[in-house]
Structure 1
Amino acid sequence: MTREEKSAIVEELSAKFATTPYFYIVKANGMSVAETNQLRRLCFENGVEYKVVKNTLIKKALDTLDTDYSGFDDSVLKGFSGILFHPESGKVPARLIKEFRGKTSADKFNLKGASVDSSVFVGADQLEALIALKSKQELLGEVIGLLQSPAQNVISALKGGGNKIAGILKTLSEKEEA
């Protein structure tokens, strides 16, 4: 690979890292052709982009960004590395890794590190934490639901109370007439 090709790959990766807030670096060595095809099919079905890139090029691309990725030290950028990109959710690649590991041998495909909204996660033990993370939309929905709940309770109490008062007044007025 020529120097120009390498710099083009680094520029492309830098742009991809800058525009994609969710990416995972995975260990994907020792897979058969059938397993690799199965992984790529699973990625396509879930809207995840999968690329295999040399570690030195990944490191150079990460160094061009403003975010501190020093957590991706030699333990992450070592050996055979693939990158999973998802533009909308940090959970989708984590679920994909877990699903694929269930279908194949766990040592062939494993999480090395991840970046979710510029937060760095290192190590395969972080997979369950990444699956449990809520997206910004889910968190905003919960906050809006919590903010609406008291107002809805007050409104329903006022509506319910109004009906009760009207019923009591009607009953009292009917008693007076009789």
Structure 2
Amino acid sequence: MTKEQKLQSIKTLTSVLSSKNIYFIDISGINANKISELRRNCSDYQVKVRLVKNTLLRKAMESHITKWSPLFCVIQGNTFVMTSEVNNVPAKIIRDFKTKNNSDKPLFKCAYVEESFYIGSEQFETLVNIKSKTELISDVISLLHFPLTNMISTLKSVDHKILGCLEILSKGSPQFSQIT
């Protein structure tokens, strides 16, 4: 790789590092067919992927060294970078891939998700279970749906009672003439 190509790769990686949700995984020991399958899965869910050289990745990270320094100790071996607009999709793709292939690979190294670092395999389940914005909005709507439905039902029944009373009053019912 020429110096110009390396500089271009560093520039590209710097733009990749500006993503909100970035996952770093190790794909060593996975054959080419399985890597292609993983790439297809990522493509199906609009997750962008790239295999990177760690030295170039580190150079790109060094432009914002204070931000990325927690990850320097983990960026070793083969590094596959996944970026996504939805925070938990890459984690779910990795989990499903491992389950389908009955394997412990790919190995989760670390992630930068919604301005937080998740380092080490013990953090992986947290990322799988983290809710996306769409899921949170859906949960809020579900939580509000039942009370709103009850309130509307109550208002409708009160509305019918009031209309019934007004109808009786308008007819000049003898029951109400005794009250006045």
Worse-superposed segment, 36-45 or 110-119: 36-45
CA distance in 1, matches of 2:102, 2:4: 37
Which of 102, 125, 136 in structure 1 is aligned with 2:122? 125
Change (3 A) 1:100 1:144: closer
CA distance in 2, matches of 1:116, 1:166: 55
CA deviation profile, 1:6-57 (whole Å, cap 9, x unmatched) = 1211111111221x21110001001112212221222222222221111121
Q: Does 1:102 align with 2:99?
A: yes
Larger radius of gyration: 2
In the other structure, the counterpart of 2:178 is none
Task: State the AA in 2 paired with 1:162.
Answer: D
Matches within 5 A, 1:13-162: 13-18=13-18, 20-65=19-64, 68-74=67-73, 76-86=74-84, 88-104=85-101, 106-140=103-137, 142-143=139-140, 154=151, 156-162=153-159
CA deviation profile, 1:61-108 (whole Å, cap 9, x unmatched) = 22324872222131x20111110111x201111111001111335343
CA distance in 2, matches of 1:127, 1:34: 24
SS of residue in 2 equivalent to 1:24? strand
Q: Output the aligned Cα RMSD.
A: 3.0
Superposition deviation, residue 126 in structure 1: 1.7
5+ unaligned residues in a row in structure 2: which ranges?
A: 176-180
Superposition deviation, residue 2 in structure 1: 2.5
TM-score where L is the length of structure 1:
0.81
In the other structure, the counterpart of 1:4 is 4
SS of residue in 2 equivalent to 1:71? helix
CA distance in 1, matches of 2:145, 2:66: 36
